[in-house]
């Protein structure tokens, strides 16, 4: 058990100490990666653990982000705790409503309708007066974290933002791990394994799926809120299907249905993106080729690869 | 009221063009069970082919003929090398792999033809406009577009309902294994269907090029709407694709002038409404 | 013998000293970051601006304030979503001394915010977002082009003066489109007219057919549009193909016909536009500029090239005053603000909000050229609402 924790704890230590390096640009980049990791973890609840392939998860991510932007006054700060609660709430509500519609479908249909509903959100933000249109909207002043006069952290400082996001990532990770070990989580995994059987056993399968969909949406909204707070900018592309595709890729690349997979996937995909875009203007070509190769030859993702490597290095035995 | 008639013409023309692209998508879904996100890229491929070939040969018609031939070849090659490996994979892998393909196609286009926005001149034969009402004339080419799309729709009907190949396609859509067991070369049928789908999408791109301009990202815009067409019409149903495309054409065109802010959302609201009533589309096959 | 050794040693020491000292003498290059669209519907504009800028620098001897120049180029793809990341890379990773860009107002907004937050020097050779020299104004943000509402405002005045009573507007739905239409509406309605309907479509789509049909059904006295680049080409052609050119006058800011006349052909003939520049402006600087540009790049320049050119001139004047030392920021900015620029557009100076004060011409397309047929508004300064400088 301890052996299995060495690598993750080591990585955590590295990440926790990174801001000491002082490279602001890269500290901000890592913050963004951690936010995407939260986003990917939320999607994995659906894809990896419940077997629901949602191609429209960016909708709730965007809703969380836009809620902050809409709540932020032009020249003052929004209260962090209240706006955060509201953002998560609105995202959860949207996921609930959409879930009622999309969970009527199955298989390919499900994938397509989740995509289509996300597009609906995209057009709401892109075309109507709610958002700032295609130009997006700004969060002019970062949210204020004070509670009763005490300000635990200042979101204007990149290093504070970094640690806040890191703590949230750890909390979300812990929450999901606990959830998955609970009866509810076990039921979800049962649904992924064999839905008919679960139904025969008397489980209200659709209700479980809807609950998972809503929780995933809420967590995505949390990630979106953090992104808006960090970058100070929201625009409809946050809700585009490219964003949905991106986060799905992160989950698969890292390894769906594994604890660390989404986090690893978020880091790996962003690193790949950075690597390719510094090398050439046509980085999308290499990214596309990488995706094709990964799907063809590495469907278990990096987590699967890691397991094989670890087994090779440390010998067989406990699967971990 | 003349104006309503003209807007109807606009709506039908848009819907028919959409049908051309979506029918390929729904056929590939229905027959082969493959979800292909790169379908929009074939549309873009067609448009860029129209641009480059018509600049080279000086004639859009010649470019179209060449383009269709090229698309069929490309479709056959793609199916043989890549897509045939996807039949056994699950939907998620298909989604991701074809998503990667979109990126590859976009960049290949960028490398080969560049990223500029291009216009394609309307063929001189159809370059005029007919006066339909006193203030405005209607471009002849748009009428030609609608006509060509209808002709192709009719041709597809004949192919699917009246030919041996069509029979095999319909059978394959219902039960692939049985058809294979009965001795039909299922792989060949799939290859043909795929190439047909590619050619349809590419042809639609070529047809639309003079009217919508040729620009990067045009494939992705049309792809999402095609998904909505398939969801509303039902997977595998060409008739459903036609009805859904026309519905969407109407909602989109009238939406743009009546409720411009909500035109984009309107199409999805339509889809949501239909999903409530028929979760598997209007004309779900077997 | 000793003397010779000493002399050699002295020579060697002198040479060594020269090598050691030369890094101090070898000056830091001036790092200029271009953030412009090189792909997409505004690609031609990005290229024209870059060409104009480099022409101005070449005319000054290819250096800025006596120092060599390092160019860093970023293609912003006219995509506001990628803008914060792109500009952050220029400021924080590439550490450029000055950013030059861009065309799209939404992208420029992100650039202006980043420039303000990081106190980076930003020169804007096109994007007309009103807020940039309004609430967002700052000493380190200087614009050499226009603000979105200005050409529209001028055309609104022209339309009212010509006796048009009803107008329908059509534009891309983003900051530039909204503000251009807003400027037109303000002046037009002040002059007694009424904008009866405002139509819009998402940037950068070009499916105009339903809107042209709608315009034909409303039958206004005139139509005011905002489009640029590839979109402008298509609109003018489609408007003609729908038979509207002969029946309902088409008005617009000069972007409708600048850099696009070759592609638009006969469809653009006779179109009236307003802009702070016209091809045939007969002043010595414009004649010289056009000749030099044509010689260097083999195409006619347009307003975008001219704006790039003036940006180059402005930066050159500023860096000359500080001897190329980009760290002397205040002196550099002051030099640019007070520089006497000889612009091809005619009289040019900077307002307190760092926005141009200039004449806005009324132009008509005659024989594939934008001919100035009058001055719509002389010495127009954008009101810079909200600027606290």
Scan for tokens 């909500």, then name that residue.
B262
Cβ contacts of B116 on chain C, cutoff 8 Å: 39, 43-44, 230
pLDDT in tens, B241-269: 999 999 999 999 998 888 877 888 888 98
The more confident residue out of A1 and B194 is B194
In this predicted structure, the answer to whether residue B102 has a pLDDT above a threshold of 60 is yes
Each domain of chain C, given as residue ranges in start order, spans 30-146+280-357, 149-275
Highest mean pLDDT, choosing among A119-128, A214-223, B247-256: A214-223
Collapse the DSSP code of B53 into the 3-class scheme (helix H, G, I; strand E, B; otherwise coil) and give the result: helix
Contact state of B136 with C241 under an 8 Å Cβ cutoff: no
DSSP state of C120: -
The more confident residue out of A146 and C63 is C63
Residue B248 lies in a domain: no
DSSP state of C32: E
The closest of A83, B221, A232, A107 to C202, measured between CA atoms, is B221
Restricting to C residues 234-253, those with a Cβ less than 8 Å away from any Cβ of B are 234, 237, 241-244, 247-248
Chains in contact with chain C (at least 3 beta-carbon pairs closer than 8 A):
A, B
Q: What is the mean pLDDT of residues B76-104?
A: 86
CB B83 within 8 A of CB B100: no
CB A69 within 8 A of CB B244: no
**pLDDT-based confidence at A320, cuts 50/70/90?**
very low
CA distance A80 to A147: 9
Quote the pLDDT of residue A9: 82
Residue B247 lies in a domain: no
For C30-146+280-357, the fitting CATH number among 3.40.50.300, 3.40.190.10, 3.40.50.2300, 3.40.630.30 is 3.40.50.2300
What would the two tokens of residue A157 be? 């400082």
The more confident residue out of A243 and C347 is A243
CB B10 within 8 A of CB B254: no
Scan for tokens 């491929």, then name that residue.
B45
Q: Is B265 on the interface with C (CB under 8 A)?
A: no
What would the two tokens of residue C344 be? 């091809």
Distance from CA of A214 to the nearest CA of B (A): 18
**Containing domain of residue A40, as a range?**
2-314
Contact state of B115 with C202 under an 8 Å Cβ cutoff: no
Quote the pLDDT of residue B201: 93
Distance from CA of A104 to the nearest CA of B (A): 6
Cβ contacts of B212 on chain C, cutoff 8 Å: 206-207
CA distance B252 to B265: 9
Restricting to A residues 88-107, those with a Cβ less than 8 Å away from any Cβ of B are 101-102, 104-105, 107
Highest mean pLDDT, choosing among B65-74, B85-94, C226-235: B65-74
What is the chain B residue with the closest CA to C77? B115
Cβ contacts of B251 on chain C, cutoff 8 Å: none
Residue B234 lies in a domain: no
The closest of B223, B271, B233 to B251, measured between CA atoms, is B271
Distance from CA of A262 to the nearest CA of C (A): 23
Quote the pLDDT of residue A205: 92
pLDDT in tens, A245-282: 999 999 988 988 888 899 999 999 998 888 887 787 77
The more confident residue out of A301 and C122 is C122
Quote the pLDDT of residue B148: 92
Residue B146 lies in a domain: yes
In this predicted structure, the answer to whether residue A219 has a pLDDT above a threshold of 60 is yes
pLDDT in tens, B25-43: 988 887 777 888 999 999 9
Which of A28, A133, A232 best tests the C interface by mutation, with the highest count of C CBs <10 A?
A133
Q: Which residues contact C284 (CB under 8 A, 6 or more apart)?
A: none
Residue C271 has phi, psi (to 5 degrees) of: -65, 140
Residue A320 lies in a domain: no
CB C280 within 8 A of CB C372: yes
In this predicted structure, the answer to whether residue A7 has a pLDDT above a threshold of 90 is no
The more confident residue out of A62 and B5 is A62
What is the chain A residue with the closest CA to B85? A296
Q: What is the mean pLDDT of residues B73-98?
A: 86
Q: How many domains does chain A have?
A: 1
pLDDT in tens, A57-86: 999 999 999 999 999 887 778 888 889 999
- Which of C39, C209, C247 has the CB atom closest to B115's CB atom? C39
CB B76 within 8 A of CB B195: yes
pLDDT in tens, A108-122: 889 888 998 999 999
Q: How many domains does chain B have?
A: 1
Contact state of C211 with B6 under an 8 Å Cβ cutoff: no
> Percentages helix, strand, coil for chain A, rounded to the nearest 5?
75, 0, 20
pLDDT in tens, B222-248: 888 898 998 899 887 888 899 999 999
Q: Is B81 on the interface with C (CB under 8 A)?
A: no
**Containing domain of residue B53, as a range?**
2-216
CA distance C160 to C195: 11
CATH number of C149-275: 3.40.50.2300
CB A263 within 8 A of CB A41: yes
Residue B284 lies in a domain: no
DSSP state of A300: T
CA distance C9 to C77: 60
Q: What is the mean pLDDT of residues A215-223?
A: 97
Half-sphere exposure of B19 (CA within 13 A, CB side): 31
Quote the pLDDT of residue C21: 46
DSSP state of A224: H
CA distance C147 to B85: 55
pLDDT in tens, B180-215: 788 777 788 888 889 999 999 999 999 998 888 787
Quote the pLDDT of residue B32: 79
The closest of B171, B157, B198, B172 to B67, measured between CA atoms, is B198
CB C248 within 8 A of CB C220: yes
Same fold, C30-146+280-357 and C149-275: yes
Quote the pLDDT of residue C38: 86
Cβ contacts of C40 on chain A, cutoff 8 Å: none
Cα C288 to its chain centre, rounded Å, is 20
User: How confident is chain C (389 residues) per 10-residue block, as mean pLDDT?
Assistant: 55 52 60 90 89 94 89 88 88 91 90 90 93 88 92 94 94 90 94 92 83 90 91 89 89 90 86 90 91 92 94 92 88 90 89 91 90 88 83
Residue B265 lies in a domain: no
Render B115-147 in DSSP notation, one character per residue: SB-B--PPPGGG--EEE-SSS-EEEHHHHHHHH
């Amino acid at each position: 058990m301890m052996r299995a924790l060495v690598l993750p704890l080591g990585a955590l230590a590295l990440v926790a100490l990174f801001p000491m390096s002082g490279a602001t640009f890269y500290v901000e980049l890592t913050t963004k990666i951690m936010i995407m990791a939260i986003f990917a973890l939320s999607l994995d609840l659906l894809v990896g653990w419940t077997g629901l392939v949602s191609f429209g998860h960016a909708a709730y991510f965007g809703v969380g982000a836009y809620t902050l932007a809409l709540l932020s006054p032009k020249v003052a700060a929004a209260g962090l705790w209240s706006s955060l609660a509201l953002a998560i709430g609105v995202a959860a509500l949207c996921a609930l409503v959409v879930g009622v519609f999309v969970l009527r479908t199955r298989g390919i249909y499900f994938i397509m309708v989740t995509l289509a509903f996300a597009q609906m959100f995209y057009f709401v933000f892109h075309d109507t007066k709610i958002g700032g249109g295609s130009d997006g909207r700004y969060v002019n002043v970062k949210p204020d974290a004070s509670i009763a006069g005490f300000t635990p952290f200042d979101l204007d400082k990149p290093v504070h933002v970094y640690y806040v996001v890191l703590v949230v990532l750890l909390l979300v990770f812990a929450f999901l791990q606990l959830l998955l070990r609970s009866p509810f989580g076990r039921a979800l995994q049962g649904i992924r394994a064999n839905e008919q059987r679960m139904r025969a056993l008397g489980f209200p399968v659709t209700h479980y799926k809807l609950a998972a969909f809503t929780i995933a949406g809420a967590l995505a909204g949390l990630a979106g809120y953090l992104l808006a707070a960090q970058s100070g900018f929201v625009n409809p592309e946050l809700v585009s299907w490219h964003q949905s595709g991106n986060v799905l890729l992160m989950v698969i690349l890292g390894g769906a249905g594994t604890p660390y997979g989404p986090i690893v996937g978020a880091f790996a995909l962003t690193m790949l993106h950075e690597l390719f875009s510094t090398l050439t203007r046509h980085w999308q070509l290499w990214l596309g080729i990488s995706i094709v190769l990964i799907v063809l030859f590495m469907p278990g993702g990096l987590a699967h690869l890691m397991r094989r490597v670890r087994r090779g290095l440390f010998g067989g035995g406990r699967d971990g | 009221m003349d104006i309503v008639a003209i807007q109807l013409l606009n709506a039908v023309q848009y819907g028919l063009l959409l049908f051309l692209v979506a029918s390929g998508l729904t056929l590939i879904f229905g027959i082969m069970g493959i979800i292909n996100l790169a379908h929009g890229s074939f549309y873009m491929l067609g448009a860029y082919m129209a641009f480059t070939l018509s600049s080279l040969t000086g004639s859009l018609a010649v470019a179209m003929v060449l383009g269709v031939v090229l698309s069929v070849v490309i479709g056959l090659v793609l199916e043989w090398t890549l897509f045939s490996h996807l039949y056994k994979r699950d939907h998620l892998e298909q989604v991701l792999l074809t998503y990667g393909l979109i990126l590859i196609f976009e960049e290949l286009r960028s490398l080969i033809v560049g990223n500029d926005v291009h216009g394609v001149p309307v063929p001189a034969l159809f370059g005029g406009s007919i006066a339909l009402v006193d203030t405005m004339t209607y471009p002849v080419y748009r009428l030609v577009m609608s006509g060509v799309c209808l002709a192709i729709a009719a041709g597809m009907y004949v192919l699917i309902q009246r030919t041996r190949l069509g029979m095999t396609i319909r059978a394959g859509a219902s039960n692939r294994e049985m058809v294979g067991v009965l001795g039909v070369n299922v792989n060949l049928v799939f290859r043909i269907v795929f190439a047909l789908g590619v050619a349809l999408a590419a042809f639609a791109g070529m047809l639309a090029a003079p009217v919508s301009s040729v620009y990067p990202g045009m494939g992705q815009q049309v792809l999402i709407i095609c998904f909505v067409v398939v969801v509303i019409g039902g997977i595998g149903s060409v008739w459903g694709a036609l009805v859904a495309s026309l519905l969407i054409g109407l909602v989109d065109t009238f939406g743009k002038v009546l409720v411009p802010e909500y035109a984009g959302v309107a199409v999805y609201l339509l889809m949501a409404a239909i999903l409530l009533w028929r979760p598997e589309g209007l004309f779900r096959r077997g | 013998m000793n003397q010779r050794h000493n002399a050699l040693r002295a020579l060697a020491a002198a040479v060594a000293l020269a090598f050691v000292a030369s890094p101090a003498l070898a000056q830091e290059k001036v790092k200029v970051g271009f953030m412009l669209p090189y792909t997409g519907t505004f690609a031609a504009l990005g290229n024209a601006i870059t060409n104009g800028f480099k022409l101005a620098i070449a005319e000054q001897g290819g250096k800025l304030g006596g120092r060599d120049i390092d160019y860093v180029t970023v293609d912003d793809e006219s995509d506001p979503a990628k803008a914060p990341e792109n500009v952050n890379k220029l400021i924080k990773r590439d550490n450029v001394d000055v950013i030059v860009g861009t065309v799209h107002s939404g992208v420029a907004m992100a650039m202006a915010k980043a420039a303000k937050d990081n106190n980076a020097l930003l020169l804007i050779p096109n994007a007309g977002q009103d807020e940039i020299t309004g609430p967002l104004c700052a000493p380190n943000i200087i614009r050499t082009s226009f603000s979105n509402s200005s050409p529209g405002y001028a055309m609104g005045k022209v339309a009212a003066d010509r006796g048009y009573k009803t107008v329908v507007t059509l534009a891309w739905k983003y900051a530039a489109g909204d503000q251009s239409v807003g400027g037109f509406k303000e002046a037009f309605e002040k002059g007694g007219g009424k904008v009866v309907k405002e139509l819009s479509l998402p940037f950068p789509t070009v499916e105009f057919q339903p809107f042209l049909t709608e315009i034909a059904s409303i039958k206004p006295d005139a139509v005011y549009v905002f489009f640029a680049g590839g979109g402008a080409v298509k609109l003018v052609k489609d408007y003609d193909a729908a038979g509207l050119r002969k029946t309902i006058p088409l008005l617009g800011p000069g972007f409708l016909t600048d850099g696009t006349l070759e592609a638009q052909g006969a469809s653009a003939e006779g179109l009236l536009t307003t802009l702070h520049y016209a091809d045939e402006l007969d002043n010595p600087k414009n004649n010289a500029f056009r000749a030099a540009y044509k010689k260097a790049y083999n195409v006619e320049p347009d307003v975008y090239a001219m704006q790039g050119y003036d940006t180059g001139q402005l930066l050159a004047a500023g860096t000359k005053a500080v001897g190329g030392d980009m760290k002397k920021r205040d002196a550099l900015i002051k030099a640019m603000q007070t520089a006497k620029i000889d612009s091809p557009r005619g009289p040019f100076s900077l307002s307190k909000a760092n926005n141009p004060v200039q004449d806005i011409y009324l132009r008509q397309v005659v024989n594939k050229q934008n001919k100035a047929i009058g001055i719509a508004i002389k010495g127009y300064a954008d009101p810079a609402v909200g600027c606290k400088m």
